[in-house]
């Protein structure tokens, strides 16, 4: 029964950790949305900025992946 309790805590922890991915989702959506609104205002300049779009998305996404990684570590490695 004690083991089950530990397991319960572990699963709750994993679930809480995955909330962090929501923050990354907000960040990525923010970047993509702002890029799109900027691109619609000035379509001629949009093509040159796609690299920066992906760099920004990558940075925001990395933090979400960190939280996913922590979840995986808790789930399988701890």
Partner 1 sequence: MADGSGFNIKPMDQFLVKPLFGGDAVHWYTPTNVTLWMGLAVVAVSLLLVYTTRGRAIIPNRGQSVAELTYGFIYKMVEDVAGRDAVRFFPYIMTLFLFIMFANVLGLIPFAFTPTAHFAVTGVMALAVFISVTALGLILHGTAFLRLFWIDAAPLALRPVLAIIELISYFMRPVSHSIRLAGAMMAGHAVAKVFAGFAGALGVGAVVPIVAMTALYGLELLVALIQAYVFTVLTCVYLKDALHPHH
Partner 2 sequence: MNPETGQTVAADQAVGMPQLDFSTFPNQIFWLVVALVAIWLILTRVALPRIGAVLAERRGAITNDIARAEALKLQAEEAGAAYDKALADARAKAQRIIEKTKAEMQEQLDIALQKADAEIAAKTAESERRLAAIRDSASAAVEEVARETARDVLAAFGAKADATTVDAAVASRIKEGAA
Query: What is the binding site for partner 1 (CB under 8 A)?
Result: 48, 51, 54-55, 57-59, 61-62, 65-66, 68-69, 72, 76
Q: Are 24 and 63 in contact (CB under 8 A)?
A: yes
How far apart CA 78 and CA 64 sit, in angstroms, is 20
8 binds, among partner 2, partner 1, none (CB under 5 to 8 A by kind): none
Q: What is the dihedral of CA 26, 32, 37, 39, to 10 degrees?
A: 170
**Residue 65 sits in the site that holds partner 2 (CB under 8 A):** no
**Residue 73 sits in the site that holds partner 2 (CB under 8 A):** yes
Closest contact distance (angstroms) between CB of 38 and partner 1 is 18
């Amino acid at each position: 029964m004690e083991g089950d309790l530990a397991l319960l805590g572990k699963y709750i922890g994993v679930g809480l950790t995955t909330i962090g991915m929501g923050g990354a989702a907000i960040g990525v959506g923010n970047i993509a949305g702002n890029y799109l609104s900027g691109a619609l205002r000035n379509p001629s300049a949009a093509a040159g900025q796609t690299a920066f779009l992906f760099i920004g998305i990558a940075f925001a996404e990395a933090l979400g992946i960190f939280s996913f990684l922590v979840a995986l570590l808790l789930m399988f490695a701890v």
